[in-house]
Structure 1
Amino acid sequence: MPLQPHFGKQGVLLVNLGTPDAPTPKAVNRYLGEFLTDPRVIDNLPGVAQQVLVRGIIAPIRSGIVNPFKPGGSTKLYQELWTENGSPLKYYGEVVTEKVAAELGDEFVVRLAMRYQSPSIETALNELLAEQVSSILVFPLFPQYASATTGSVHQEVMRLLSKQQTIPDVKLVNSYYEQPDLIKVFADNARDLGDLGRYDHIIFSYHGLPQRQLKKADDCNHCYVKDGCCSTISRVNQFCYSAQCHATTRAIAAELGLAEDRYTTSFQSRLGFDDWAKPYTIDTLETWAKERGAKKILCFSPAFVADCLETTIEIGVEYQEEFEKWGGEHIDLVPSLNDDPRWIAALTSMIRAETTEPVA
């Protein structure tokens, strides 16, 4: 039983990273400007320098806003990603929100928000408060915790709620990287592809983070100091993004009965010249193609719950092209969770486990 009765409905805020409103230079520039000026994303520059660099150089060049008749690299990629339903990340987020709300029933109010762009966290919170909810469960759609994703979402939610005169009960979900229902959905999506024995190797590719961010989150002098520091989850690394990614891999591999030599955990989407979490997915693919003669690779992307640039384009197109150049034949990407009914059921179950039944 809760400490006090809940007279209103329970609010649920599902939050994903974000996406441009359109695959145009102007919209992409606006999205990149907001995303890359978050001090939790680019964390090694003073505020003013970060604003000047991002808004004056990086975002205009990558979006093509400096020459709208010749879209920049990021805009071209979003144009490839876009579907008749718009951005897959936003589309599936809306579908999932609607279906989860239907499963939870009338005593819940469920809203979708994006950390960057629309629908904004502020808009979604205002809608929940307007419904006079008794509590708000903040559920980031990132299975693994990272300061640049979940941490940023939590900070923004707390910043906005701190302006309110009355703040309802708030619960922040940190991570769910080896939650059994989630793991089973990822594994079942792989099983749906048929016999996994036909693949020369299986890669679990996660979005990368700079090593400095991993070390900054380490209060116990553990990260990159102890060999195999990500091989188990313990008190000292319980919030480590890399350790949680490895834990997700181990859980899916166990569900599928994979031997340790059948799979590798790696990291993608590296930017800049600093060292990021290793090994890099692109290097892993090159090694398996050139040195081990791999022809068929199966790739999971368990840091994402919906199609996005990092899955559909980076792995499905860019890595595929490189793999073929190195002598490989095909990379099969395990489908994202998207609006899979099994994912809807798993998400609904996790939300119920984090909330209490309302008391009228």
Structure 2
Amino acid sequence: MSKKKTGKIGVLLVNLGTPDTPSTPDVRKYLREFLLDPRVIDINPVGRFALVNGVIAPFRAPKSAKVYQQLWTDRGSPLMYHGRDLQAKLQTSLGADYHVAFGMRYQSPSIKSALDELRDKSVSRIIVVPLFPQYASATTGSVQDKIMEIVKDWWIIPSINFISTYCDDPGFINAFAELGKKYMAEDNYDHVVFSYHGVPERQILKGSDKGYCKLGSCCNSYNKRNRYCYRASCFETSRLLAAELGLKEDQYTVAFQSRLGKDPWLQPYTDEVLKTMPAKGIKKVLAFSPAFVADCLETTIEVGEEFREEFEHAGGEKWVLVESLNSSDTWVEALKNMVLEN
């Protein structure tokens, strides 16, 4: 009996986004699209429009453009070329029965262009992998929202499966631990910092399961009630990574970076924590950014350079950033297994 042909399976990798160039106009365009997303700045629409177009985009774009110029390479934006490299390697690993597309939530290549690519290939179904290990409404939730907005206009909508969180996936943990162990074998560090991108506390509370979240000890375990809590996910990733690296509880710190505005964001803040460490005898720190699977401005510049300067200014001797997973073979294998399991 002949086997029924069902068509290729589509895999859609999605990351946040990047300006097309590091010029001020392109950075301003990117910031506007990004920050006008109601899942990113979740305030009154009129207030959000005024804040982004009247304050943030005009004044932040020139400063951000200078930082992007430091980050840019001959291949362009790291977030872009790492994404393309990952797409190509995952395609090779999965083989001809799959078609892997890559899109950005903001700017180019758009999610729409990636979905159109999969539709043109007549895929039988689509597996969506947002490149954010820990679920947050402002990242994974926004990607899912955008995809559903696009496909609602398709006459035929194939089965779509979202891999919404993989903060505790063994392959993901192993891929980051593998990188960290190389640094730990080369030097003895006094402490490890796991620095995650922050979100406003109000966003965590809004997504809490019937008031379960208290922004405290509720994150001491990872369970069905806080599975989609960003804060709980970050602590779970840290616990698993620490265990894989052989760290005791007092040998690592979980902190949050990149806050914006006056409202409280997730704490403790990385930039404040690191300044207190040298006085406690912590002079050599190994830093991870486990919320980012590809190097970008928030890893290379913020954690790798700005935090190092602040740490050294406070009396520290050595601050080293472990690079992101990018397109490492171990990460590709982890992604492949996630796709096959779904």
Amino acid at match of 2:203: Q
Spell out structure 1 runs of 4+ moving beyond 4 A. Answer: none
Deviations 1:262-289 (A, max 9, x none): 0011111111111111111111101112
Q: Say whether 1:251 aligns with 2:250.
A: no
Q: Say whether 1:59 aligns with 2:47.
A: no
Which runs of structure 2 are paired with 1:179-198 in the superposition (5 Å)? Answer: 179-195=169-185, 198=188
Amino acid at match of 1:352: L
Q: Secondary structure at the match of 1:315?
A: helix
Q: 1:333 matched to which residue of 2?
A: 321
Query: Is the Cα contact below 8 Å between 1:15 and 1:115 reproduced in 2?
Result: yes
Amino acid at match of 1:283: E
Q: Say whether 1:278 aligns with 2:267.
A: yes
**Identical-pair percentage:** 51
TM-score, normalised to structure 1's length? 0.92
Q: 1:313 matched to which residue of 2?
A: 301
Q: 1:13 matched to which residue of 2?
A: 12
Amino acid at match of 1:25: T
Q: 2:39 matched to which residue of 1?
A: 40
- Give the superposition deviation at 1:197: 6.9
Q: Say whether 1:90 aligns with 2:89.
A: no
Query: Is the Cα contact below 8 Å between 1:6 and 1:134 reproduced in 2?
Result: no
Q: Secondary structure at the match of 1:195?
A: helix
Distance 1:272 1:192 in 2: 37
- Give the superposition deviation at 1:234: 1.9
Deviations 1:8-48 (A, max 9, x none): 1111100000000100001101100000000000002x223
Q: Say whether 1:128 aligns with 2:110.
A: no
- Give the superposition deviation at 1:332: 0.8
Q: 2:23 matched to which residue of 1?
A: 24
Q: 1:260 matched to which residue of 2?
A: 249
Q: Say whether 1:105 aligns with 2:89.
A: no
Distance 1:170 1:305 in 2: 23
Q: Secondary structure at the match of 1:28?
A: helix
Query: Is the Cα contact below 8 Å between 2:276 and 2:314 reproduced in 1?
Result: no
- Give the superposition deviation at 1:49: 2.6
Q: 1:287 matched to which residue of 2?
A: 276
Query: Is the Cα contact below 8 Å between 1:11 and 1:134 reproduced in 2?
Result: yes
Moved more, 342-351 or 216-225: 216-225
Amino acid at match of 1:257: G
Amino acid at match of 1:93: G
Distance 1:166 1:52 in 2: 39
Moved more, 231-240 or 257-266: 231-240
Q: Say whether 1:353 aligns with 2:341.
A: yes
Distance 1:341 1:196 in 2: 21
Aligned residues: 339
Distance 1:57 1:318 in 2: 24
- Give the superposition deviation at 1:220: 2.1
Distance 1:269 1:300 in 2: 15
Q: Which protein has the bigger helix share?
A: 2
Distance 1:223 1:344 in 2: 34
Q: 2:310 matched to which residue of 1?
A: 322
Distance 1:197 1:143 in 2: 28
Unpaired runs of at least 5, structure 2: none
Distance 2:311 2:137 in 1: 32
Distance 1:308 1:120 in 2: 18
Query: Is the Cα contact below 8 Å between 2:135 and 2:228 reproduced in 1?
Result: yes
Moved more, 107-116 or 46-55: 46-55
TM-score, normalised to structure 2's length? 0.96
Moved more, 232-241 or 128-137: 232-241
Q: Say whether 1:160 aligns with 2:158.
A: no
- Give the superposition deviation at 1:254: 0.9
Distance 1:342 1:285 in 2: 30
- Give the superposition deviation at 1:56: 3.0
Amino acid at match of 1:247: E
Amino acid at match of 1:24: S
Query: Is the Cα contact below 8 Å between 2:196 and 2:291 reproduced in 1?
Result: yes
Moved more, 47-56 or 137-146: 47-56
Distance 1:301 1:282 in 2: 14
Distance 1:200 1:100 in 2: 36
Q: Say whether 1:208 aligns with 2:207.
A: no
